[in-house]
Structure 1
Amino acid sequence: MQQAEIRDFLIRFFSSSECTLLPVDNQTQLKVKLTKQMDKLLMNRPFYWHYIEQIGAVPETATLTFRFDDQIDEGEFIHFGSPRLHQIFNTAEEMGRYIRLYQVLPSQAAPALEPWLGLNMKVSYQCDLKKDRLISIGLQLVNGVLIEGFQSMLGKLELIQKLPDYCYTLSPLITVKSGIQRIERFIASELETEPYEWADQASERWKKDEDLLDAFYEQEEEKPDRYNQEKKALEEQYKPRITIRLVNAGLFYLQSSTFMPQFIKDR
């Protein structure tokens, strides 16, 4: 997940949570004034909120400043893998995985909005090492056009929670269930084409440690339970596997003609 994608995700997350985005000097920072709800979820200060609510005082919610460049000093450096970002991922899950948003169109645009299904998925490559990345996919539910980097594209649009005046939505020809299946097949096909050196290297390390284990117990005709336990532990440690987890999803009513052309791919 690139830093620009993380910034787009955070803007969308905090905006949809009704937090206030504050002015910053450049695109390498993001400053946000939290709502009461978001302060409770992210800031871990239950005693403050208990005291404020007991005395009926007006709360002062926290302001967070994020930086996306580790070369600057102001703000908390956030990147894929940082504890704060994963806390926000978990919070997004707790608040609900599904949203519905509508694009605000330019005045000269036609009023029709097309339904898009958007999924953000976390792909984890696991062995004795671990690597995560976020895949963001959008699928138009009328003609089946698929977009990679959907979250990044959404960050370039103005979206609201109510259907804009004088606009109407087109009915989907593809069901949400079928759309999810199409996206899953696309992700599976993409993963099949990726290089698997990391898995081969993990299997080699697994084989070396297993050979050492066998050598240690080679004088024993009947292997003790501990041998089987250690063998199983090696498998759990080294066996290469890929897991995919839904981060969040949404139904977006958009107008394709307003997108940047390089995002669109026929599938």
Structure 2
Amino acid sequence: GRGVTDMKAGLVALVAAMINIQQQGGPKHGTIRLLATMGEEVGEAGSAAFYQQGAMQDAAGLLIAEPSTVYGTAAEQKGSYDLKLTSKGKAVHSSTPERGYNALVPLIKLLNEANDYFETIPAGEVGPVRFNIDVLNGGDQVNSLPDLATALVNVRTIPEYDNDQVTQKLTDLIAAYNQQGADIKMTAIMNESPIATTADNRLVKLVQAIGKPYAGRDVVVVSSPGITDASNLAKRQPADFPFAVYGPGNMTQHQVNESLPKQMFYDFIAIYQQLFTRFLAE
């Protein structure tokens, strides 16, 4: 069912592993903190609240129980930046367009120029910047110029070209179009930054050592094209901060028939028990 892979199985596996560790008299050293969040798919309000409350201030590492590949892990991820662009014009009959201003025209031109520009940005370690024009609205009828047009854009950012740089570029483009007579404004709906830590950080090394027998092969370290709550929870951490995205799943995320093998679920409960115990002991 939807959500099994992303990431109900991972959440339950975390809870089960923590219960087992406690029943066995652990942890002997340190503390395991469960941060179960709401709104991870849109807005990440839960992890933002945890960050603002200081839940990560004394954290020695962070594990996100979401799959990156089958039995694989990730130590970096793209950011996600959702924006709304609003263009205002003046509605008139389409037979006399010179008396009004078509709100769609400058918005479409700006979006095309931005799309062409972001395709020129060199790809980084996690891949290229992705500028996605997802929703475009404007106009009510075919014989009248629209006085309002809006666009919803999602930008997948990378550490080498982050959300602030996207903001600056779009701000400059908007200013240029407004100087030519347009009236375009930009509003951020979600602003989650990319996260990059070293692929050989301490947590990833433990994941590779403990997970190999369960995977039946070396545990690969990949770059995640999506975002997780780490966008909030791991921000402003040093490059060697112990961070890993590692959870049960067979990469069927966001489908109505998400699924995973039952044994994989049990494997990750056992993996998490060993991972937390060894991480805190070292």
**For this structure pair, what is the TM-score category when the shorter chain's length is used for normalisation?**
under 0.3
Greater relative contact order: 1 or 2 (C-alpha under 8 angstroms, separation 6 or more)?
2
TM-score (norm 2): 0.26
Q: Determine which structure has the larger strand proportion and give its number.
A: 1
